[in-house]
Amino acid sequence: MRIQLSHFMDSEPLNLSFRTENKNAFRKIVDLHTMVERLEGDGRHAINVHLGIYCDEIELEGAVVEVGLKTAFVSVEAEGLEIDQGSKYGEMAFPAKIGVDHTVMETLSRAIEDSAAVEATIQGSLSPLKAGVEVSAKGQLSGKQTAGYTLSDSRVETRSFQFVEAIGEDRWKLHPEKELLHGKFLHGQTLCETTVAQGRPNRRGVAVSVNVRKRDVEVNLVTDTRVVKFPKTNREKMIALLIAKSLSRASPSSRAESILLSSSESYDEE
């Protein structure tokens, strides 16, 4: 009887209600917001994300610094849920075979044995033959002559640019159109979908975060009103203050290579 009751409880539809908390250390630079949307199917949800990354000026302890990111990484961690690996946004899947447009440049040579043939060649079917043949055409040629010509077969190959690319470990990499990221990269798109983990744990949720590597941060000093001023070339000092004010909350002397700039947590508890 207990088995039947347990089976009945496990088959009941789930009505999850997620509460979301968004945290952005520097909203002028990285602005992240997420929403968990219920889908058809028991316990299935979509993780919808709004994400903008911009080059802008921020204040760091009395100094104004312009900050830009060369690239950034979005991560999703699930608790009590499983990420559907086939639902990821920006997944690149290569076919077994692919046809590639190409440009072919080929040089051919043709033996012409008398002046009449040369003249016919120029005037007739092989009219593209010009260099080295046309000058000696009117009966002035004797013996075997060789004419060279080029056939050109040109095709245009079109490639699309991918700004958001799904990579390993439930992460996404953002690519800039030019040198730095600037613009809205996700406008409510479903980053991935989740299902409830086996055993139906009481606590279920997802955490979406945006991280950047120290080497991918561009900083430029704009103004400095502090008593002890930044040396204009002291990039490490400005990066250290950026880390200290980020969600990483690391000390300025930290050797951490990754900086947590934004996070969004959505949880449901029964």
Q: Give the distance from CA 220 to its chain's centroid.
A: 25
Domain co-membership, 184 together with 56: yes
From the list 21, 63, 55, 52, the residue with the least C-alpha distance to 245 is 63
Range of the domain at 75: 27-91+170-269
Helix (H) or strand (E) holding 8: helix 2-10
Number of domain units in the chain: 2
Domain co-membership, 38 together with 129: no
Supply the pLDDT for residue 62: 82
Residue 71 has pLDDT above 70, yes or no: yes
Q: Is the dihedral of CA 211, 239, 222, 227 positive or negative?
A: positive
Domain co-membership, 263 together with 135: no
What would the two tokens of residue 10 be?
């496990």
What would the two tokens of residue 75 be?
């991560």
Confidence band (pLDDT; 50, 70, 90) for 153?
low
Residue 134 has pLDDT above 90, yes or no: no
What is the chain's Cα-based Rg? 32
87-113 tens-digit pLDDT: 999 998 777 776 666 555 555 555 544
Lowest mean pLDDT among 7-11, 92-96, 133-137: 7-11
What would the two tokens of residue 50 be?
């709004």
Confidence band (pLDDT; 50, 70, 90) for 150?
low
Domain co-membership, 193 together with 225: yes
Residue 159 lies in a domain: no
Q: Is the dihedral of CA 121, 123, 128, 130 positive or negative?
A: positive
Domain co-membership, 217 together with 253: yes
